[in-house]
Amino acid sequence: MQKQTKAIRTQAQQSQNREHSVPLYLTSSFTFESAEQGKALFEETEEGNIYSRFSNPNVTEFVEKVCMLENAEDGIATGTGMAAVFASMGALLKSGDHLVACRALFGSAHQIITQILSKWGITHTYVDATATEEEWEAAMQPNTRMVYLETPSNPGLELVDLRMLARLKAKYGFILNVDNCFATPILQTPIDFGADLSVHSATKYMDGQGRVLGGIVVGRADLIQSIRFFARHTGPSLSPFNAWILSKSLETLDLRMERHCRNALQLAEALDTHTDVERVLYPFLPSHPQYDLAKRQMSAGGAIVTIELEGGFDRVKAFFDALTIPTLSSNLGDSRTIVTNPNTTTHAKLKPEEKAALGITPGLIRISVGLEAIEDLIEDFTQAIAKSAEVLKVGV
């Protein structure tokens, strides 16, 4: 069967009630048929549910679906995307280890690396996403244990060549850990390119409607076993209700991403020809500096378009005030189009020099393109650009 069929038909085992839709297992714990069974479950000689911090049928169903979509051996779900990112690092790195990371990272991932892992004696080296294979190799040290990256990155939509890093992994033996949130398993499967782990904020496209929080890590079974031990005892559990929502949402992920990507490409093309837009970034635009890599590595360009307007934050404020359809929020991946200014929101905690290195300017705008009629979106963005230009001209 094709993946889309499996995403719809993979379900928890039907109960004696013969339900068509999987029920919610809103229980903190599970019973044992005997003392012997309880012993066997805790000794892990028998598989089964014990406590919802460890496992739950709704969570298991969600994990199985994502593993299927990502071609992964195993996985574990967490309460948030950042819990998944942290668990994928904290479970596998120890004092004295070295981490190589792409410089273009979400702000919270940057804080984990620089402010939390550093307290554990874990050092790091940043490398530009667009660095050559020789530059990535130069960052390797004898104690390099992991390479962590986003591709495409947030918010600059920079890509990293996964096949290139897989070649380096074969030489140096590190764990290749990829944040695949922006692409989703529908557009990109990092494990097929040689990654060991694929991490997601399920809050974004996997939910797709801005309802629940969730995260997931999938990949090599031996690595997931270590991450599961870490999460089981530190407790970043995904709730059964959120897992139920996310598993249901995966049934429409393929359809939603098709519309997201089509809308995003058309909006990017319209803004790319607009004389009053300084810069437009979208992986499947021929003007994107890594367009060829995007076409090799992804099946479509994703749902994020990043633009820059002249006039800094004053221009951004006027532009946002003039928009009538998009929502102003730091979230993304919603059915509704969302805009934000990374300089003052998602990446506000970065130092000026760090923002400069990532190309995060005061006039940068990240657009999470939704499922609205694209004609309406193009018209709204066009009129907001014109109005904000007029406001800037008169000094308001």
pLDDT in single tens digits along all 396 residues of the chain: 888 898 988 889 888 889 888 999 999 999 999 999 999 999 999 999 999 999 999 999 999 999 999 999 999 999 999 999 999 999 999 999 999 999 999 889 999 999 999 999 999 999 999 999 999 999 999 999 999 999 999 999 999 999 999 999 999 999 999 999 999 999 999 999 999 999 999 999 999 999 999 999 999 999 999 999 999 999 999 999 999 999 999 999 999 999 999 999 999 999 999 999 999 999 999 999 999 999 999 999 999 999 999 999 999 999 999 999 999 999 999 999 999 999 999 888 888 988 888 889 999 999 999 999 999 999 999 999 999 999 877 344
CB count in 10 Å sphere of residue 137: 16
CA–CA gap between residue 142 and residue 258 (Å, rounded):
43
Structure token pair of residue 116 = 């939390």
80 HSE (CA, 13 A, CB side): 6
Predicted confidence at residue 139, as pLDDT, reads 98
Q: Using the Cα atoms of residue 319, residue 321, residue 323 and residue 325 in order, give the sign of their dihedral.
A: positive
Predicted confidence at residue 395, as pLDDT, reads 40
Predicted confidence at residue 111, as pLDDT, reads 93
Structure token pair of residue 143 = 């104690």
Residue ranges matching CATH 3.40.640.10 in the chain: 3-250
Q: Under CATH, which architecture does the 3-250 domain have?
A: 3-Layer(aba) Sandwich (3.40)
Predicted confidence at residue 37, as pLDDT, reads 96
For the purposes of burial, counting CB atoms within 10 Å of the CB of 128, is it exposed (0-12), middle (13-18) or buried (19 or more)?
middle
DSSP state of 194: T
Structure token pair of residue 98 = 């070295």
Residue ranges matching CATH 3.90.1150.10 in the chain: 253-394
Q: What dihedral angle (degrees, nearest 10) is formed by the CA atoms of 382, 384, 389, 394?
A: 150
Q: Under CATH, which architecture does the 253-394 domain have?
A: Alpha-Beta Complex (3.90)
